[in-house]
Homo-oligomer: A and B are copies of this chain.
Amino acid sequence: MQCSCNNCHIRTIFYETLMSNELDGFCGARTELLLSKGVTFIRQGDEIKSFKYLKEGLIKLHKTDDTGKTQIISFGKPMDFVSIHNIFAEKTYSYSVTTLEKSIICVFDLSIINNLVKTNGDFANRIIQTTTRTANKIISDSLDLLGRSMYGKIARVILFFQEEIYFTYGFDLPVSRKEIAQYTGLSIETVIRVISEFRKDGLIKVYGKRIEIIDKKGLQAIYEHSK
Residue ranges of A at the interface with B (Cβ–Cβ < 8 Å): 63, 65, 67, 69, 71, 73, 85-86, 88-90, 94, 114, 117-122, 124-125, 127-129, 131-133, 135-136, 138-140, 142-143, 145-147, 185, 227
Q: Which residue of B lies closest to A225 (CB)?
A: B67
Contact B127 A94 (CB under 8 A): no
Tell me if A's interface is mostly helix, strand, loop or mixed. helix
23 contacts between A and B (CB under 8 A): A67-B227, A71-B147, A85-B139, A88-B125, A89-B129, A89-B136, A94-B140, A117-B121, A117-B124, A117-B128, A118-B121, A118-B124, A119-B121, A124-B124, A131-B131, A131-B135, A132-B132, A135-B135, A135-B136, A139-B139, A142-B146, A146-B146, A147-B185
Chain B residues lying within 8 Å of A94, measured Cβ to Cβ, are 136, 140
Q: How many copies does the complex hold?
A: 2
A132 CA / B89 CA spacing, docked (Å):
6
Contact A69 B227 (CB under 8 A): yes
Q: Which residue of B lies closest to A130 (CB)?
A: B89
Q: Which residue in B122, B131, B138 is a CB contact (below 8 Å) of A128?
A: B131
Contact B129 A132 (CB under 8 A): no
Q: Which residue of B lies closest to A114 (CB)?
A: B125
Instruction: With both chains docked as a complex, state the minimum distance between the C-beta of A35 and any C-beta of chain B, in angstroms.
Output: 25
Q: Which residue of B lies closest to A137 (CB)?
A: B89
Chain B residues lying within 8 Å of A125, measured Cβ to Cβ, are 88, 114, 117-118, 124
A69 CA / B112 CA spacing, docked (Å):
45
Q: Which residue of B lies closest to A120 (CB)?
A: B121
Chain B residues lying within 8 Å of A138, measured Cβ to Cβ, are 135, 139
Q: Which residue in B67, B120, B131, B185 is a CB contact (below 8 Å) of A146?
A: B185
Contact A71 B143 (CB under 8 A): yes
